[in-house]
A and B are shown apart, each in its own frame.
Chain A
Amino acid sequence: MDWKSSIALSLCLTQSEKMSKQQLKWIVTGNFTADGAVAYLQAENRFSRQLVDALVFENKEDAEAARKAAAGREALVTDPYVTEVADADKQLDVLTARERIRSQGPSTPYGRLSPTPRVV
């Protein structure tokens, strides 16, 4: 995500949130134990790194039951929790800046960004 375009992320999010209140649903997410990457509970009790794969629950109680089951698989996933999503027009969308960044990665550049040094 380009950091300049991401500046507007929060505003888009608010609009998305307002539009989607009627379609509130729930997913289970946590972090993979091996590398800490974001994990989404998907079908057949597996976990994916992609939000698009997340299993969507129509009610919070079912999501909570799935979270409890996931919490027992600590070697695979750490600290799973339930979070709200909007699921309008088959477009799965998280509702907070935090979850948006978790699903897309840092909004800012990192790594080898400066000019490659010449031999000093």
Chain B
Amino acid sequence: MYQYDEYDRRIVAERAKQFEGQVERRYSGEITESEFKPLRLQNGLYMQLHAYMLRVAIPYGTLSSKQLRKLAHIARTYDRNYGHFTTRQNLQYNWPKLDDVPKILQELASVEMHAIQTSGNCVRNVTSDHLAGVAPDELEDPRPWAEIIRQWSTFHPEFAALPRKFKIAVGATPGVDRAAIAYHDIGVRLIENEAGERGFEVLAGGGMGRTPYIGQVVGKFVAKEDLLSYIEAILRVYNTYGRRDNLYKARIKILVNALGVEAFRERVEEEWEQIKDGPLKLEQAEIERVARHFAPPPYEKLPDGKPQLDALRLGKDRELARFVRNNVLAHKQPGYAAVIVSLKQKGIPPGDMSDEQMDAFADLADRFGFGELRVTHTQNLVLPDVRASDVPALHAELVKLGLATPNHNKLTDLIACPGLDYCALANARSIPVALELMERFEDIDYQSDLGELNVKISGCINACGHHHVGHIGILGIDKGGEEFYQIMLGGSAGYDASLGEFLGKALSVTDIVPGVSKVLNCYLGLRTSPEDRFIDVVRRVGLAPFKEAVYGPPTMRQGVAHADH
């Protein structure tokens, strides 16, 4: 993984020191809260309902075991013994004290981590495929490109005060999207053209939130050496023409869709013509320098692990068999597997991990890999380099930690934002709905029967829980100070990106989980075979039968036609 050079180390350490001074001036009254707020936000520090929240960047979701131990130490020393992995591959602490934040930033700097640009109207943490470097279907590891973008965007003076926040995701697997690339302000996909040359398809204008859009292709084939200049051109067009008069219309998706993608592309390419042969042109030596940080680890030469894993999938140990079936994925290196470790345990908020679990998991990353782990945008972890022969031993250790839930890509592998239990923007709670769904549908055989199913829950229209792209999306709303929930169906965050549609009027907090249950029963009745996935059925039959299942026949419904979206 990427190792800081002297320059990186110095700027991160100086940034922590600088924030210490800003906190001192805030307390002394030298600067007001309104002056302090943008400074703390640029360092990832929010004020939430009950406490500050510090968001720590995990670039493209890659962490070392040493860094995870430091995160555990910070949770134990400065917070309440846990951290929360987010839908953008970051980690949030929910209870830091203001005085402690400069110390936390110094602790993070000591392991080459920081909270820079995890908030504010700037380029945020660059995300990527959590199977980068190990997926057998990828063209090449996308992380060097994510790192090149990270270095370019960090402290970029021209883009420190954009109209709104800006998110970039990078992937490198043709026809597969494990990073919700189409829902980013810029999505970068490594592709191969008919001549066998590799370059990038660059999307712009994707996003969720109040006005969701699927990103559109702006750069159809951008040469590798031109990646940064092309992205810079997009940012320049956005920075120039993006709206600053209306917070809700300030994201690039609004600009792209207001202009139309053709007109937007024309402006980008006009800008790009002026800068593409300038200092942003990437030299091969620089690409190779960064790529060396992501060189494959020293794998052993092993026989193909598939027969071994297939035997485990059919073995007598049912718990292990389920785990291998659902959570153990193919690896590009013979004899190895990537293991999804679900952070969706019954009774525990999705994405939460205690300090003790983090420490123990760091040990597992050392013992069953090369000291590296990944964070997924679906709030899980990955051990990317596990020997197939080690899977039973790893599973046994995960069971002891309560981290062996075999529910990857199943109903209870849901994602949820912090919601009204923590978030100052939320209208309704997300976590209790997630917990109730996880308890009610705990039976893994039932979940396996349902097949691939993504449930995503947001506590407000800002969509941190990605409700627009859930096969089943749940959106919390506020009606007169009371929490209600709307169901959406048919969304997808994958390569077949689609936005869900609202099913009908909002359900009360006590009706939402029974409502989901009715949707599931309806699906089971409609599917033609166990291979007929939920998303395929919704796309085939539309919402009508699901609407009837939840709200009754049209003649029985009241107010459905006036559903408040």
Contacts and interface: CB of A to CB of B under 8 A. Distances in A.
A117 B80 contact: no
B452 interface: no
B421 A33 contact: no
Contact of B360 (A6, A13, A36, A120): A120
B366 to A, nearest CB: 9
B355 interface: yes
B49 A114 contact: no
B435 A108 contact: yes
Given A98-B420, A111-B82, A35 B51 contact: yes
Interface in B470-506: 478, 480-483
Interface stretch (B131-139, B180-188, B212-220, B395-403): B395-403
Interface stretch (B5-13, B55-63, B93-101, B155-163): B93-101
Nearest to A120: B363
Contact of B435 (A3, A34, A96): A3
Interface stretch (B25-33, B111-119, B225-233, B547-555): B25-33
Main secondary structure of the interface of A (DSSP, over half): loop
Given A7-B509, A31-B47, A112-B355, A107 B401 contact: no
A117 B356 contact: yes
Interface stretch (B189-197, B370-378, B426-434, B442-450): B426-434
Main secondary structure of the interface of B (DSSP, over half): mixed
B33 A7 contact: no
Contacts of B364: 120
B97 A34 contact: yes
Interface string A84-120: 0000000000011110011001111111111111101
Contacts of A69: none
Contact of B49 (A14, A102, A110, A111): A102
B557 interface: no
Contacts of A17: 480-481
B98 A114 contact: no
Given A97-B482, A101-B420, A112-B355, A38 B428 contact: no
User: How big is chain A's contact interface, by range?
Assistant: 35 or more
Given A108-B431, A109-B347, A37 B436 contact: no
Interface residues of B, number: 58
B429 A120 contact: no
B94 to A, nearest CB: 7
Given A36-B51, A37-B51, A97-B482, A11 B510 contact: yes
A102 B50 contact: yes
Interface string A32-59: 0111111000000000000000000000
Contact of B50 (A4, A36, A78, A112): A36
A8 B352 CA distance: 24
Given A3-B435, A33-B98, A115-B401, A109 B348 contact: yes
Interface of B: 26-29, 32-33, 47-52, 80-82, 94-95, 97-99, 345, 347-349, 352, 354-357, 359-360, 363-364, 367, 397, 400-403, 420-422, 426-429, 431-432, 435-436, 478, 480-483, 508-510
29 contacts: A3-B435, A4-B436, A11-B482, A13-B482, A14-B481, A17-B480, A34-B97, A36-B48, A36-B98, A74-B33, A75-B28, A78-B47, A97-B478, A98-B420, A98-B426, A101-B49, A101-B429, A105-B50, A107-B432, A108-B349, A108-B429, A109-B347, A110-B352, A112-B82, A112-B355, A114-B354, A115-B400, A115-B401, A117-B359
